[in-house]
Structure 1
Amino acid sequence: MAYKIAFSKGSIKIGKQETPSFYQGFILNILNPKAWIASISGVTAFTAKGDMSSLILFCSLYFFICFIGVGSWAVVGKQAKALVQKESQLRIFNKIMGAGLAGVSAYLLLT
């Protein structure tokens, strides 16, 4: 995957794209299996069985942290769009991302 990302053509198709609505984003987040797996894992790891106060505390913290995480991801994505306006910039970006993914993969394999 790192190789495919690093050596992709980096073509940019500029056209009118419809921005997803709030409702579409809301439904997408509810249907996100990764979020459900992470929240179930967190609840089982960090809450005591039958202790409602620890469950409420965990859910409140998890909501707050996820809200910040998703919000910052959206802001960074919007700002990064300015960095890849040309195909040459996109190819450089892809090489950096591919190298980063290869580095993380190598680290995980070697440790």
Structure 2
Amino acid sequence: MWLYDGRPEFIDVNVASATPTEGGYVMAMELTNGAVRLAATRHPGRYVSAWRHNVRRYGAPDVVRVVVSRPYLRYEAVKRALAGLLAGYKDAGSENFMVGIDILKEKAGEMFSTAS
């Protein structure tokens, strides 16, 4: 279910970019403020790198942990479904969720097992 769970510095070494035939990945990034940010991307390494650039440039919360799913053809739909499951944890002032990664992984487990 999860290809990678670890520090953002090592995401490029552990997760390759997805090809169009593979689809893309669903990612959860745990930030320094305790929030979790969901993303859907074909290029997890680039996404994390761009986020960390914004940290330096604008003072956004940095990434401390990244979790990356296996590839899904409909990765955007999987991300939206996961966001729906986490609606009760949504931070009203941002696109983030105030939930721990371990709780997110638990809630996503059943959904990921049925997604294609």
Superposition TM-score, scaled by structure 2 size: 0.24
Higher CA-based Rg: 1
Structure with the bigger RCO (C-alpha within 8 Å, sep 6+) is 1
Which protein is richer in helix relative to its size?
1
TM-score normalised according to structure 1 size: 0.25
